[in-house]
Each structure stands twice: as structure tokens, then as C-alpha cells.
Amino acid sequence: MFRFATELVAWVAAPWALASFSVPLAVLSVVVLIGLPTVFATPGDKRQVLVAVPGPVTIALVLLQLAVAVAASWAAWHPVAAGVVSALAAVTAVLELPRWRWLLRR
């Protein structure tokens, strides 16, 4: 639940932060943030795997989502909202640790 909430924030905050610079870049950010984890997955972590990757790649994709959520929220939103997003990302990272340990063995 926390990971999905953080992903949603990244999907909203990234194009929001980039739109004033480049609308195509804003659209591309959403395509990348949604597309990469959809295409690349670790077998056993998702039901359908289009392109199988080792666990560390899946961890890197989650870390990318977390970093984008935090950075884009600080760039685009009020500091209070960005602080909430930062706390959400930190909680998500802590809650993901057991999954990441499992993924490191894949």
C-alpha cells in the first residue's frame, strides 16, 4: 500500500515538476515511471513477467520511484507537502526491506 502510494506520487509529481520546462519530457517521465516496472520484473515478484530481471534491478526501479517522488515533490509542491512525501518515501523504504532482502536472493 505504501509503495503504491509513493508510486502514485511519483507519477503525479514528476510531470508536474517537469511540465513548465517541457511537456514532452513530462509525458516521457510518466511513461518511464510506469513502463519500466511494468516491463521489467523479477520472476516470483509479479504474476506476469514480460522481461525477467534479477532482484537488484527490481530494487533499483523501486528506489527510482522513491527518489523521483521525493525530488519532484520538493521541486513542484509546497514544502509541507514535500515533507509528507519524504516521510512517506522513508516509511516505504523501511517497509520494503524484507521484500528487498528476498529480491536480493533472486
- The pLDDT value recorded for residue 106 is 78
Q: 77 lies in which domain range?
A: 2-104
- The pLDDT value recorded for residue 46 is 86
pLDDT tens readout for residues 8-59 = 999 999 999 999 999 999 999 999 999 999 999 999 888 888 999 999 999 9
The number of domains in the chain is 1
Residue 11 in grid coordinates:
507519477
Q: Which long-range contacts (CB under 8 A, 24 or more apart) does 76-85 make?
A: 76/13, 76/16, 76/17, 77/13, 77/16, 85/6, 85/9, 85/13
At 43, is the secondary structure helix, strand, or coil?
Answer: strand
Q: Average model confidence (pLDDT) for the chain?
A: 95
